[in-house]
Every structure is written in structure tokens, then in C-alpha cells.
């Protein structure tokens, strides 16, 4: 609770955005969470023009957990669900702009082309991991719709087996977890800590400084990027 008290009294200065799939152009079949390269560039331009500093997940986690300093107006870019569209459309933009990010992967669907949209392969994940611009992290094994409805045993299996698969596939420790659909409660965050992660991320629409602990770090969905900016530049954390 000491962490919560410190953060609740802190000035909001950073926010985390989460993106999902990327598509070449928007049409009648597009989903709410889709983003095109043009839209992504426009949002990054909008943030950059206002003085945003793009930081890594390690920098953001250290800021939330250990209160290390970040530049004012810091933004962390995250991605969910391991979509191949990220590799095709978003990654070249990140590389050109040298923007760090993190990709949360549900390991049961790595390389899958039969369930929904295609997911990135192990070869692509290893390429990203070796390059270092995109940190690979966990989003459970099967992407449960609502972790809160699972037993402790079921949830721990989702957390630990995903972590183990990524660690074996990439050859190093996996530190971060995102809750599928952002759904969690204190039992979920407690089990995430028990599973051996260093920090975990929700989808609450609040600045990072309003995290109650390191396993409940809020993120804004990317469609709310202007709201995120207003929150971190015009108000104090409450």
C-alpha cells in the first residue's frame, strides 16, 4: 500500500497505449481495434509534435515499481495478440522511427493460421527478440475471455505455461504479462506475481502513475490516445 500511496500522490507524466491488429486499409470488415499504417503514423506524429518521449517497457516498469525518473510526457507503445499484421505493417514504422515497444503473445496460437487472423511464428518472434526493439512478453496460453472466472489452478497454468514456452523458445527470462481483454481483479494480479512475473498490465484508462501496484499497471487502448495525452498533461493523478 506504500506504493499505492506514493503513486496516487504523484504527478501524471506517462501513459501506455496498446494496439492490436494492423490492416493495410480500413473497410467495412475492419474491427474496432484495427489500425492502419497511415493511422499509426498519424498518431505517432500527433504525439511527437506535442513532445512525447517514447520509452521502453523496462523503463516504464522501473518507473512504476522503483520510482525511477522518466522524461515528462513519456509514452510506452504496446501490442497485443501476436498478430502477423503487426509484423507486416507496424514493425517497419517502429524500426524507421526507432520506437521501442512490447508485444504480448498468447503462446497457444504462435504461428496459427486456422483460428481468426494469422499470428506471428516462432521465427518472427526470435527475429524481434534478437533485434531488441520489441520486447516479447506473455499474454497467457489461450487468451481466456475473462481470467476472473477461472480457478486459481487454471489461471496459474495459463500464466506459468505461457512464461515457460516463451523462455524456452527465446532462451531468456520473460518478465512481463498482460491480462487478456484487460480483465483482472486483485486475485488475478496476486497470481500473476506468484507465477514469477515482474509486472503485469491491464487496460484501465489511466496514467501509469495511478497503478496501485506493479501487477496492475494501466494502459489505454490506442483509440483513446488523445484522452491519454490529456490525462498525462493536464491533471494530477487521483
Question: Alpha-carbon dihedral of residues 124, 25, 145, 232, nearest 10 degrees?
Answer: 90
Average pLDDT on 55-74 reads 94
Residue 76, domain member (yes or no)? yes
pLDDT of residue 238: 41
Average pLDDT on 128-156 reads 97
Task: Provide the whole-model pTM.
Answer: 0.92
Task: Report residue 146's pLDDT band, with 50, 70 and 90 as the boundaries.
Answer: very high
Interval 186-222: pLDDT, tens: 999 999 999 999 999 999 999 999 999 999 999 999 9
Residues with Cβ within 8 Å of 127's Cβ and at least 6 positions away in sequence, in order, are none
Cβ–Cβ contacts within 10 Å for residue 76, how many?
27
Residue 53, domain member (yes or no)? yes
> Could you give the number of structural domains in the chain?
1
Interval 46-61: pLDDT, tens: 999 999 999 999 999 9
Residue 9, domain member (yes or no)? yes
- Supply the mean pLDDT for the chain: 93
Cβ–Cβ contacts within 10 Å for residue 24, how many?
11
Residue 26, domain member (yes or no)? no
Residue 30, domain member (yes or no)? no
Residue 177, domain member (yes or no)? yes
Interval 28-48: pLDDT, tens: 888 888 999 999 999 999 999
Residue 20, domain member (yes or no)? no
Please give the backbone phi and psi of residue 46, each rounded to the nearest 5 degrees, phi first. Answer: -60, -45
Q: How far apart are CA 203 and CA 184, in angstroms?
A: 9
Residue 65, domain member (yes or no)? yes
**CATH at residue 173:** 3.20.20.370
In terms of residue numbers, what domain contains 69?
2-14+35-233
pLDDT of residue 9: 44
The C-alpha cell at 207 is 496514467
pLDDT of residue 6: 42
Amino acid at each position: 500500500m506504500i506504493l499505492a500511496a506514493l503513486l496516487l500522490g504523484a504527478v501524471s507524466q506517462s501513459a501506455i497505449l496498446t494496439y492490436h491488429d494492423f490492416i493495410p486499409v480500413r473497410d467495412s470488415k475492419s474491427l474496432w481495434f484495427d489500425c492502419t499504417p497511415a493511422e499509426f503514423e498519424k498518431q505517432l506524429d500527433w504525439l511527437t509534435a506535442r513532445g512525447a518521449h517514447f520509452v521502453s517497457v523496462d523503463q516504464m516498469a522501473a518507473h512504476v515499481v522503483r520510482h525511477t525518473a522518466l522524461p515528462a510526457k513519456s509514452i510506452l507503445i504496446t501490442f497485443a495478440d501476436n498478430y502477423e499484421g503487426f509484423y507486416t505493417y507496424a514493425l517497419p514504422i517502429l524500426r524507421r522511427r526507432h520506437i521501442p515497444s512490447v508485444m504480448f503473445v498468447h503462446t497457444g496460437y504462435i504461428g496459427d493460421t486456422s483460428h481468426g487472423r494469422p499470428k506471428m511464428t516462432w521465427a518472427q518472434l526470435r527475429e524481434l527478440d534478437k533485434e531488441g526493439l520489441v520486447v516479447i512478453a506473455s499474454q497467457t496460453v489461450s487468451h481466456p475471455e475473462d481470467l476472473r472466472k477461472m480457478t486459481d489452478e487454471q489461471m496459474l497454468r495459463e500464466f506459468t505455461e505461457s512464461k515457460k514456452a516463451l523462455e524456452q523458445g527465446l532462451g531468456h527470462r520473460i518478465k512481463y504479462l498482460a491480462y487478456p481483454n484487460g480483465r483482472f481483479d486483485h486475485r488475478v494480479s496476486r497470481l500473476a506475481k506468484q507465477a514469477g512475473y515482474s509486472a503485469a498490465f491491464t487496460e484501465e484508462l489511466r496514467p501509469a502513475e495511478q497503478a496501485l501496484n506493479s501487477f496492475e499497471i494501466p494502459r489505454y487502448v490506442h483509440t483513446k490516445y488523445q484522452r491519454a495525452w490529456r490525462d498525462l498533461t493536464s491533471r494530477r493523478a487521483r
